[in-house]
Amino acid sequence: MIISLLNKILDIPIFYNLIQVVLSMDFPRVAKKYIEKYPHNAIFEIGCGPGKFMKYINPKKYLGIDMSESYIEYAKNNFETKSVKFMVLNAMDIPKLNGSFDLVIIMNVTHHLTNKEIEHILKRLTTNVSFKRLLIFDGKPDIGPLGKILEYLDQGNNFREVDQLAHLVSKYLKIEKAETVRKPYWIYKCPLVVAVPK
């Protein structure tokens, strides 16, 4: 019942954004620094949520997908432009996309997915999308025993260490970098995997 109520609350973009600010602190700024290390004029974001990351980046072309209609409606109303587009789409169903992307980003999504789901998404991505680099950032509670409570509340049943995430990605792409990003004041550690097509 608590999880069901929490899911309903988190499906409201304003509450989701508020929780993200409290829990992730300066994560978007840190993620931005990693993104800016690579060409990023054209970005495809899988699991874009309500599009709040658009406050931190300014690509010439952007496509964000998420399966939540309320998040995409919020993103369209607040961030969509001629060159910034959002669509309701389950990542399991990525179609052939026109054009190419410098960067595909997946942030704070993989802990909601099983290994098979991640592999399916990577297979569809490498088959249907032309891109130069994939960047996966995820969070994993890092506060000892209290971390299990956060994992439960975060609706993620598949939190992974960086080596586990890199192993999954390496089946479809060549790993360029795999590390865990931490800040002393974060309650999450962030496995980061950067990979390029084989």
- Model confidence at 84, pLDDT cuts 50, 70, 90, reads very high
User: Could you say which architecture CATH assigns to the domain 2-197?
Assistant: 3-Layer(aba) Sandwich (3.40)
Residue 49 has pLDDT above 80, yes or no: yes
Amino acid at site 123: K
- Model confidence at 184, pLDDT cuts 50, 70, 90, reads confident
Q: How many Cα atoms occupy the beta-carbon half-sphere of 195 within 13 Å?
A: 24
CA end-to-end distance (rounded Å), the chain? 45
Q: Which residues pair with 180 in a beta bridge?
A: 191
- Model confidence at 73, pLDDT cuts 50, 70, 90, reads very high
- Model confidence at 7, pLDDT cuts 50, 70, 90, reads low
Amino acid at site 94: I
Question: Residues 39-50: what's their mean pLDDT?
Answer: 96
Give the tens place of pLDDT for each residue, 127-176. Answer: 999 999 999 999 876 766 656 656 555 566 788 999 999 999 999 999 99
Residue 23 has pLDDT above 70, yes or no: no
pLDDT at position 25: 57
CA 74 vs CA 4, 55, 56: distances in Å: 22, 14, 17
pTM of the model: 0.85
Question: Residues 2-25: what's their mean pLDDT?
Answer: 56
Q: Is 94 helix (H, G, I), strand (E, B) or coil?
A: coil
